[in-house]
Amino acid sequence: MHNTNVSGMLGSRNFYLKQSKTAAKKCFLQLKNSIFAFMKINQLQTLFHKELASLFPKTEIDSFYNILVEHKLGMTRIDRAMQPQFELNREQTSYFTRTIEALRNETPVQYITGTSHFYGSTFNVNSNVLIPRPETEDLVSWILEDIRKEAKIDILDIGTGSGCIAISLAKNLKNATVWALDFSEDAIQTAKVNALANKVDIQFLQQDILKTHELDKSFDIIVSNPPYVRELEKKEIQKNVLAYEPHSALFVEDTNPLIFYDKITTLAGKHLNPNGKLYFEINQYLATEMMEMLRNKGFTKNELRKDIFGNDRMTKSMV
């Protein structure tokens, strides 16, 4: 999930938001005044830049514009180049007015469209689930590198959220049986919709892993990207992440930051099949503590990998 610091890791979408409330209000009034009922598509892009220029870099505004226009109108860049005079109707104009305002209020664009892309698939996202991060794709890649495509194996994803890890594995490992666990009923609902949309069969378990003493069966792979941001790291986190993403998916107490890893490693020690593997996404600042904890719990073969930003980000362990 992360970059050179925690704010980076939780803000790989680079929202640079420092607008004061007063300035935001003033700009919104300008926005309202500048909207006219039947706008042309080429005027819309100008409007995005005019209204968001003080808040975001130009490339990011273009990215918002492309994502939102494609989402709402189904028009690609080529479509727009071919029809620059395409006229928005009143409802479409009003939609874009609202989305510009939402962007000004720091709403992640993925929550505006309700979708996010992960490992080549589309996932529904909402305020009950974490927006999948590109760093987590590396964890999925690592597992897929290690496993034969046709392997008949059992996989458990703990803290599944949108289901991005479980569903991506199931899509790429046709003979695998995949279980996905989360304590949040709403997250499980979202993950179920995503499994259906991505045409994979997942066994869902709504369960609090911290209160779980035994798993019902054994697995060949246990994977987890659990909450791992310490309260002390909160101040480094971008405002839009703090305001919109579920805190139960993100934070752990400063006094026991490995609480999830500790519990899951204990369970994995009891419920991994022979040659089974345990994969984690981790807090970049706690790699040393993680490796020590894994060794102390009897995992002798441990590997640490960095993410695309060069930060310690994931582990693989075997007994």
Ligand X SMILES: C[S@@+](CC[C@H](N)C(=O)[O-])C[C@H]1O[C@@H](n2cnc3c(N)ncnc32)[C@H](O)[C@@H]1O
Q: Does 208 bind ligand X (CB under 6 A)?
A: yes
How many helices (H) and strands (E) are present in the chain, helices listed first? 13, 11
Count residues near ligand X (CB under 6 A). 22
Give the bridge partners for 277, in sequence order.
Answer: 221
Distance between CA atoms of 44 and 192, rounded to whole angstroms?
A: 36
Q: Which of 93, 136, 265, 311 binds ligand X (CB under 6 A)?
A: 136
Burial pattern 262-289, b for ≥16 Cβ within 10 A else e, equals bbbbebbeebbeeebbbbbbbbbbbbee
| 258 within 8 A of 315, measured Cβ to Cβ | no
With contacts defined by CB under 6 A, name the span among 25-33, 76-84, 167-175, 181-189 that binds ligand X: 181-189
Smallest separation, CB 302 to ligand X (Å)? 21
Residues 210-239 that bind ligand X (CB under 6 A): 210, 225-227
**What mask, x for binding ligand X by CB under 6 A, covers residues 247 to 266?**
-xx-----------------
Please give the single-letter amino acid code of residue 26: K
Q: Which of 41, 61, 109, 130 binds ligand X (CB under 6 A)?
A: 130
Q: Which two tokens stand for residue 204?
A: 């869902």
Q: Does 69 bind ligand X (CB under 6 A)?
A: no
Smallest separation, CB 106 to ligand X (Å)? 20
Q: Does 9 bind ligand X (CB under 6 A)?
A: no
∠ CA 164-287-182 to the nearest 5 degrees?
30
Q: Which of 10, 187, 222, 272 binds ligand X (CB under 6 A)?
A: 187
E-strand ranges in 163-311 read: 177-182, 202-206, 219-224, 229-230, 251-252, 272-281, 301-306
Q: Which residues bind ligand X (CB under 6 A)?
A: 129-130, 132, 136, 159-162, 164-165, 182-184, 187, 208-210, 225-227, 248-249
